[in-house]
Chains A and B, each alone.
Chain A
Amino acid sequence: MTERLGEIIETNSFFFVAESFTLNRPPALGELVKVPTGAEEWAYAVVTYGETAAIDPGRQPVRRSKADAYDEAVYTEHPELEHLLRTMFTAVLVGQKAGGGPSQRLPDHPPPMHYSVHRCDPFEVTQFVRKLLYLRTLASAQMLTPVEQVLAANLRWTYRALGETGREWLDGAALEVAALLQQDVEKLLGVLYAVDPEA
């Protein structure tokens, strides 16, 4: 069973928001994650946003560092922060798997509230990104982060995750993104510059 990354605290047909188990370290932007939705059933999603904030909306984070205690040391000095802050991440649904291979249409049901979000293992990632249809879903989703940033992040993350076969995949994915963004040259160039493996 792959590592559990967080628990869903908001969920609907298109995306979910989860609270990360590790403060300040949600899954990476663009990472492919999964949620078990039933026996042998999984929903796949791509992380599009992360945020760390106070649990109690009435309490604002204030400066805690001192000259001799800053960054990581702040957490040592203030062990209560783990209980007062939380990190959340949003992921857009891009596919599901029930029985056979993965499909890249939206899952039939929103992932259940309070269910865990898991990391995907390398084989799963390879299998899922074989088809590039999910990039289309990602490109048209409503999200806070600009869409070209998310696409670039996903391409970079997948490229690293695939290892040897990454370069071949990236060339194909770049072409797919070019087709998706061909009406907006600035955005397209932004993505291509960001994912250039030779840069």
Chain B
Amino acid sequence: MKRTRLGVVVDGSFTAGLTVRLDPQCSTEELHIGSFMVVEGTGYTYFCMLSDLQLRTADPRLLSKPAQDFPAFVARTLRGSATYGAAQIKPMLMIDNSEDEARAATGATPEERGVLAVRTIPMHYAELMEATEGDFAWVFGRPELENHFTIGTPLVMDFPICLNLERFIERSSGVFGQTGTGKSFTALLVLAGLIKQGVGVNLIFDAHNEYAYGKESEDKVWIKGLKDLFGSRILVYSLDKEMANKPGRSADSVLQIGLNQIERGDVILMAQELGLTATASATIGLLEDRYKGRWLNALLEMNAEEMEEFCRETKAHPGATEALQRKLKELERKDYVQPHMDSNLLDEIIQSLEKGRHVILHFGRHNSLLDYMLVSNLVTRKVREAWVRKTEKFEMSQQEGDRPTPLMITLEEAHKFLNPEMASQTIFGTIAREMRKFHVTLMVIDQRPSGIDSEVLSQLGTRISGRLADERDIDAVLTGVSDRSALRNALASLKLRQEVLIAGHAVPMPIQVRPRNYDAAFWAEMGVRGTRSDEEIDEDRDILFG
């Protein structure tokens, strides 16, 4: 397809990118920061991102003249010559010009399509062109290809942009954006894609009750949840007994945890929420020494004398211990907390996941930060342990059948779990640092990425980000990404809604995308089922519980 010319390369370097002098008839206003563009060199064609726009003038005296009203003809002529627009372009990928377009259609990966990493720059007067649909196809492939899932379209064109889901799930990822940018819809799209195409298995901690069941959107439209879309392929575990039995949105099971299952790390994670002091960790350590796995039960059951005795014996601080007991009583009071639980429920969850059924943890009324953090951390710990064992087994046997299914854990309010203080203490921090060693990755969703530990951020493979206002948040999102300076502007220029920048492992190069609508058309594509009947519910339970 013939491309439209916008200007010519007049300057540049490999490190800093190319400077393009825009043609007289091309106004800076026709171009958008972050757009995907093409530079035609002699030997290679470069796929680039527009990272900056500037105004230049051949003679500064022209601008120092008092604001005259130049007649239209004069202004137009000056605009393309003595004054002109310059675009800063960052080449991201390239192809050899001898490649023919047929290959673009057939190659399953960018490499197979002949797309290469940029290793050189074009000469002066190489032309900057508007990208065509064919160019998008070269780089991002087409939805028909394996593991490709349409996440949306470019901002100004109606062509499907695909995520490579397999690569998405290979590394931890992040969905970012300030409040109101539609992060949960983006996450829903990705999760739906993963579930539909059966890429890996998902464990979702649904903190705000957004993912399992539908709800009314701001525009008074009923939005379907994942359970609505995928029925029995999803298992919903609810912490909230009452909500679990609501017709039409009933959970498949109720989750309860035992005090005996709560470990020190779980408690320390909630230090701020519980109002614990610095001594809490030490105190718990002493408790653990004496009571091992029952330390929490023991603490909560202790009366004053027993406590006194304990303190005396262990040199624990009485005041601290007393305070600890008082504060941890709150846990006991939780509906979903039992004094003792065996591991059946958690094992169930793990088995479901192993069988390829996705699990959503629904919090219902118990959606305070405390609940969220406690349960997510605890459950994840268990699940990860299982995956570690599976991985070790696979490594021993080297049988394909033993290969663990990749597991992705969706975590909201990630900065609570992954801030620099916590990152070393939570299981999530551990998972993030381990990358895919044990086939477990995270998808973190957050509006304050600057609160997340930078080491964790640098481990993220794919980042999908909506608009961010704070400079620190922008820096955070781009931590560990190459070409950061080029992407800053692309990120800063997104509209508040309906526009994201996707960069990283799941796409060959960063791209601004208008996410597809999470609407009836989408649901139809996912093969939505009707309202679930009671029989269906029973059927599922039978399958689950045998």
State the A residues within 8 Å of B (CB): 171, 174-175, 178-179, 182-185, 188-189, 192-193, 196-199
The smallest beta-carbon distance between B68 and chain A, in angstroms, is 9
Residue of A with least CB distance to B62: A185
- Interface pairs (10), CB distance under 8 Å: A174-B77, A175-B24, A175-B77, A178-B81, A183-B58, A185-B61, A192-B73, A192-B74, A197-B73, A199-B71
Contact of A198 among B61, B73, B78, B82 (CB under 8 A): B73
CA distance A171 to B76 in the complex (A): 9
The answer to the question of B72 belonging to the interface, with a C-beta cut-off of 8 Å to chain A, is: yes
By CB atoms of chain B within 10 A, which of A184, A188, A193 has the most?
Answer: A188
Contact of A175 among B58, B72, B81 (CB under 8 A): B81
The smallest beta-carbon distance between B253 and chain A, in angstroms, is 73
Contact of A178 among B65, B72, B82 (CB under 8 A): B82
B72-A182 in contact (CB<8A): no
State the B residues within 8 Å of A (CB): 24, 58-59, 61-62, 65, 71-74, 76-78, 80-82
Given known A174-B77, A175-B24, contact A196–B71 (CB-CB < 8 A): yes
Residues from chain B with Cβ under 8 Å of A175 in the complex: 24, 77, 80-81
Residues from chain B with Cβ under 8 Å of A189 in the complex: 74
If A182-B81, A197-B73 are given as contacts, then 13 extra A-B residue pairs at C-beta distance below 8 Å, sorted by A number, are A171-B77, A174-B77, A175-B77, A175-B81, A178-B78, A183-B59, A188-B78, A188-B82, A192-B74, A193-B74, A196-B73, A196-B74, A198-B73
Residues from chain B with Cβ under 8 Å of A193 in the complex: 71, 74
Given known A182-B81, A182-B82, A188-B82, contact A174–B59 (CB-CB < 8 A): no
Q: Is the interface of A mostly helix, strand, loop or mixed?
A: helix
The smallest beta-carbon distance between B535 and chain A, in angstroms, is 74
Q: Is the interface of B mostly helix, strand, loop or mixed?
A: helix
- The number of inter-chain residue pairs (CB within 8 angstroms) is 44
CA distance A172 to B61 in the complex (A): 24
Residues from chain B with Cβ under 8 Å of A188 in the complex: 78, 82
The smallest beta-carbon distance between A148 and chain B, in angstroms, is 14
Contact of B72 among A179, A183, A198 (CB under 8 A): A198
Residue of B with least CB distance to A192: B74
Residues from chain B with Cβ under 8 Å of A196 in the complex: 71, 73-74
CA distance A102 to B58 in the complex (A): 32
Residue of A with least CB distance to B23: A175
A178-B80 in contact (CB<8A): yes
Residues from chain A with Cβ under 8 Å of B78 in the complex: 178, 188, 192
Residues from chain B with Cβ under 8 Å of A184 in the complex: 59
The smallest beta-carbon distance between A186 and chain B, in angstroms, is 8
Contact of B71 among A178, A179, A182, A198 (CB under 8 A): A198
Residues from chain A with Cβ under 8 Å of B58 in the complex: 182-183
Residues from chain A with Cβ under 8 Å of B65 in the complex: 185
Given known A185-B82, A199-B71, contact A178–B77 (CB-CB < 8 A): yes
CA distance A178 to B84 in the complex (A): 12
Contact of A174 among B61, B62, B72, B73 (CB under 8 A): B73
The smallest beta-carbon distance between A188 and chain B, in angstroms, is 6
Residues from chain A with Cβ under 8 Å of B61 in the complex: 185
CA distance A193 to B59 in the complex (A): 18
By CB atoms of chain A within 10 A, which of B58, B61, B80, B81 has the most?
Answer: B81
CA distance A171 to B73 in the complex (A): 8
